[in-house]
Chains A and B, each alone.
Chain A
Amino acid sequence: MAFTPRGPEASFFEVLDQHRASLLAALKRGGEEPTGGGMCLASSSEVLSSIEKIIQDIVTSLARNEAPAFTIDNRSSWENIKFEDSVGLHMVSHCTTRKIKSDSPKSVKNFAIILKILSMIYKLVQSNTYATKRDIYYTDSQLFGNQTVVDNIINDISCMLKVPRRSLHILSTSKGLIAGDLKYLEEDGTKVNCTRATAVAVPSNIQGIQNLITDAKFLLIVEKDATFQRLLDDNFCNKMSPCIMVTGKGVPDLNTRLLVKKLWDTFHIPVFTLVDADPHGIEIMCIYKYGSMAMSFEAHNLTVPAIRWLGLLPSDIKRLNIPKGTLIPLTKRDQMKLDSILKRPYITCQPFWRKEMEIMADSKMKAEIQALTFLSSDYLSRVYLPNKLKFGGWI
């Protein structure tokens, strides 16, 4: 049931508005979006031609009595990834590659699977139909073995053809949720209004949504579904209206990232993250902001470097006197992840983030957002977030 949002007074958003102004100014100073490296949606004929070219190359190799092979960019190799403040992590133009050979028993199966998926993509594009990665897997689960194989090869094909996955007519299943002041039209004409009491699933066709309408002052990305639901229950979107909330339920899927990117590109409203004060939460935040290694080839379509860390900050733990009994010691895995994040290239341009992580490393403790409930059950939505937003408590 829709309800009339009743948010705080306009003065509440002064700092937010200033922040937005500075973001817009930074955008103007930065000029246009960096060219090159970005993947544009390819037309169907372009995709079909690319696949036909690959087949022709294979046939030509065979005619020369040479074993055909695919040359695949090493997407997940740090040597092929560079960091730019305006983009985040993205692939270098001349990156190292690996060969998937047809005459090696170690790689012949992969070679065959790539061809199989290419043939399926060809059919999808030709018939203008779509399938999810899961659909692809179930067409021949015995051949593919597991979903991860399919996912990786689809990404490899996307990288190889230099087109986004959407252009391959392969959709990813969305698990994310949206709530708040947002309306849009899906490609099939469906009107979506996210101002309902319950959240809306992130659509599977982000590129196809149109007529986005919002008055939101900010977009809050929430790491966990539990926290998102808690905020919904506390009527946060109404109390902080106008705003938008999104959750990826952990590590975000492609569609959730595409949506966040689209909202930023369309409205240029401040984007904040609310994650646990632990290395995993920080990593998730970094994925939204700077991108992931695996998807670095599509970074320009996915990253929002303007994202700010709202909470839970490690420094908040001490500042708010969160009981030590609610804290959790860092595990060895946490330590390793924290060390890894600290070494990443983007942390060097985020001194405040580094400082927060060093606080965590020194204390060897982490905290979930739920730790705030020990202060009061609605402390998060009633006190913590409103104060953070009003007084600019983000880094």
Chain B
Amino acid sequence: MEGPAVAVCEILKYLIIYQRCETAGVSKGALLEGQLVISIEALNSKHQANTLHCVTTIAAAGSIYGGLVLKKLLKDMQSILPGFFANLNWTSEEAGHSQDASGLRPFQMIFEADVKPRTLMTDSLVIKNFLRKIITVLPKIRFNFSVKVNGILSVEIFGTPKFDTTELPCSRIHPVLGHPVMLFIPDDVVGMGLLGELTLTPAVALCPCPKVFSNQLNRISSISIFLYGPSGLPLIFPNSEQPTTAVFKDASYFIDWKKYRLSMVPNLDLSLDSGSVLPDVSYQVESGEGDQSQNMGPQGQTVLLFLFVDFHRGFPGQKMELWGVHTLLSAHLRAILRESHSVVQGCIQAAVARALEQHRQAVKAHQKLQASLSVAVDSIMSIMTGSTNSSFRKTCLQTLQAADTQEFGTKLHKSFQEVTQHRFLYHCSHEVKQQLLPERNEAEQNTDKAHENGSLELLAGTGEQTENKRLKRGSLGVEETGASRSAGALSPSEAASRRAEPTAAPLTFSRSRTGPGSGLEDAVWLQEISNLSEWLSSGPGP
């Protein structure tokens, strides 16, 4: 018995693409905004044992969907999910066109289905993961997702940035954009209606931010791949018929692992209920022969590889065509990527190599900083412990509120770490601000230089940093955003070279924790995060 997840995800995709089509000519380059509500109310079925009768409602505020023809939506849905919709009960089509108090026509559709409790539980997780993936790219769309099972309600809101008053290390990632490449479309796929150009743009980031370190972050431990299609929507469902790992069966797609003396092993142990965004493909990275450093230490960094596939048609197409393209891509991505193996491999490897080079430089700069701070602390301790001036010693202890010399040394070291890290927080966002300035839409080298400078401007991480490598979405009432360590600032190096508007890859989770209400920071962050597909739709680059 099929659950509501597939339908919910497809409908959401449909609505978002619809919104994009509606706003395309109005606000080009602007962030896609909106609020969508998904609620599932489940009660024990009166007709079947161990079955829940689920009523799923999808609603959207605003008038953007006023022109949406529900019948067309249903017809399109039925074409791709015939089995599901055959068993579906739609309640009140007219409910999709009710008016709210303001006189606007919010969108609403309701459908019912009977599902097993376990299926509902799994589907809830699938929907959540899908929402998390969407808001990674489309941060200004808010989703209110509630599940009520026999009266017990659970609500989560996705897409709301959360501020934290504590100064935490940089919780962003800093993706490196690769050059977009044209994909070859197999003839049979063309025959299915994919008439146009497909481009693939990789974005690579290291998580956590390599500039804010703990001592363990000196190796790559895993690689997570996220696939997105047109309009910045997730491309492949986890429970798709096509195993996602099969798409990238050839690990050499990503990196010349031999060069780095590493090997990749598919990570099939992906759990939806971890609370993190589940990648489409995940690999564990192990060292090759002779490189013991890779296997040492409990933690490492994750290479996040975002692959954005976009579609361009040389002439105006039908509205909602992108939704159809999405469906085709989801079904035939493997064949398309196989057809373009060498170009895909080249562009991904180049982007990964750049990101890893930044990582290497960041590691080097971090080590240099740590060594220097260690010398500074030792020197001060040498004077402090060797001094016969009791007044001097007492003053030093009192200033750092240390009971004895040992505690003084610990606090001294910690203080140095904190002040250098504090400086980095400024610089981490400052680097992004610099990159987004319209004046800096120069060649890649200039932005690389900013990256290089930025990567050197690192500060030591604190031991208090959590080491959750997965991207975490701080959704209200669910988890502590202090543990979040993803998201945010893309370096628009290639983006800047391609178009005038300062944009960034649409990667976001939580924002840099520089304090609540920092208006300038908000503005910069929002400016950073824009819809990559929107940018790509301006046309393929040089």
Residues of A within 8 A of B (CB): 48-49, 51-52, 55-56, 58-63, 65-68, 102-106, 108-109, 111-113, 115-116, 118-119, 122-123, 126, 143
Contact = CB atoms under 8 A, between A and B. Distances in A.
Contacts of A52: 383, 387, 389, 392
Contact of A115 (B371, B376, B400): B376
B420 interface: yes
A60 B399 contact: yes
Contacts of A126: 386, 388
> Which residue of A49, A109, A123 has the most chain B CB atoms within 10 A of its CB atom?
A109
B383 A122 contact: yes
B457 A105 contact: yes
Sorted from nearest, which 10 A-B pairs have the closest CB atoms?
Answer: A115-B379, A62-B415, A103-B423, A112-B375, A119-B379, A112-B372, A67-B419, A119-B382, A112-B376, A108-B372
Interface string B357-397: 00000000100110111111011101110111100100110
B400 A122 contact: no
Contacts of B418: 65
B412 interface: yes
A65 B419 contact: yes
A119 B389 CA distance: 15
B253 interface: no
Contact of B399 (A59, A65, A106): A59
B416 A102 contact: yes
B460 to A, nearest CB: 10
B355 interface: no
Interface in B447-483: 456-459
Contacts of B371: 112
B380 A59 contact: yes
A116 B383 CA distance: 10
Interface in B504-521: none
5 contacts: A48-B389, A65-B415, A67-B420, A111-B376, A115-B376
A55 B419 contact: no
Nearest to A108: B372
B529 to A, nearest CB: 28
B422 interface: yes
A108 to B, nearest CB: 4
Contact of A109 (B368, B392, B415, B419): B368
Contacts of B422: 65, 67, 103
Contacts of A61: 419
Contacts of A109: 368, 372
A51 B388 CA distance: 13
Contacts of B382: 119, 122-123
Contact of A58 (B369, B372, B375, B380): B380
Nearest to B366: A105
Contacts of B389: 48-49, 52
A116 B396 contact: no
Given A111-B372, A112-B375, A115-B375, A55 B380 contact: yes
A112 B373 CA distance: 7
B412 A59 contact: yes
Contacts of A55: 380, 383-384, 392, 396
Contacts of B378: 116, 119
A115 B379 CA distance: 6
> Which residue of B418, B419, B420 has the most chain A CB atoms within 10 A of its CB atom?
B419
A371 to B, nearest CB: 52
Contacts of B395: 56
A115 B392 contact: no
Contacts of B369: 105, 108
B278 to A, nearest CB: 36
A108 B423 CA distance: 12
Contact of A62 (B419, B423, B459): B419
A293 B373 CA distance: 32
Binding site secondary structure of chain A: helix
Given A111-B376, A118-B383, A103 B420 contact: yes
Contacts of A66: 419
A109 B456 CA distance: 13
Given A105-B458, A112-B371, 14 more contacts: A56-B395, A56-B396, A59-B380, A62-B416, A66-B419, A67-B420, A67-B423, A102-B416, A103-B422, A104-B423, A112-B373, A116-B378, A119-B378, A119-B380
A119 to B, nearest CB: 4
A105 B418 CA distance: 14
Contacts of A49: 389
Interface in B273-288: none
A58 B379 CA distance: 12
A283 to B, nearest CB: 36
Contacts of A56: 392, 395-396, 399
A66 to B, nearest CB: 7
A104 B373 CA distance: 11
Contacts of A102: 373, 376, 416, 419-420
Contacts of B423: 67, 103-104
Nearest to A60: B399
Nearest to B389: A52
A119 B400 contact: no
A108 B376 CA distance: 9
A103 to B, nearest CB: 4
Contacts of A118: 379, 383
A126 B392 CA distance: 15
Nearest to A54: B383
Given A105-B458, A111-B372, A112-B373, A63 B415 contact: yes
A106 B368 CA distance: 10
A99 to B, nearest CB: 13
Contacts of A105: 365, 368-369, 456-458
A78 to B, nearest CB: 30
A61 B415 CA distance: 10
Contacts of B458: 105
A370 to B, nearest CB: 48
A18 to B, nearest CB: 56
Nearest to B384: A55
A37 B175 CA distance: 55
A106 B374 CA distance: 16
Given A51-B383, A115-B380, A119-B379, A108 B392 contact: no
A122 B420 contact: no
> Which residue of A108, A109, A113 has the most chain B CB atoms within 10 A of its CB atom?
A108
Nearest to B402: A59
A63 B402 CA distance: 11
Contacts of B388: 126
A108 B412 contact: no
A304 to B, nearest CB: 37
> Which residue of B373, B388, B395, B415 has the most chain A CB atoms within 10 A of its CB atom?
B415
Contacts of B387: 48, 52, 122
A55 B389 CA distance: 13
A59 B414 CA distance: 12
Contacts of B415: 62-63, 65
B419 A63 contact: no
A253 B368 CA distance: 34
Nearest to A45: B389
B375 A63 contact: no
B386 A122 contact: yes
Nearest to B423: A103
B158 to A, nearest CB: 35
Nearest to B395: A56
A63 B384 contact: no
Given A55-B383, A119-B383, A63 B373 contact: no
A224 to B, nearest CB: 41
Contacts of A103: 419-420, 422-423, 459
B290 to A, nearest CB: 26
Nearest to B420: A103
> Which residue of B368, B374, B395, B399 has the most chain A CB atoms within 10 A of its CB atom?
B399
A169 to B, nearest CB: 14
A102 B365 CA distance: 14
A123 B386 contact: yes
A106 to B, nearest CB: 8
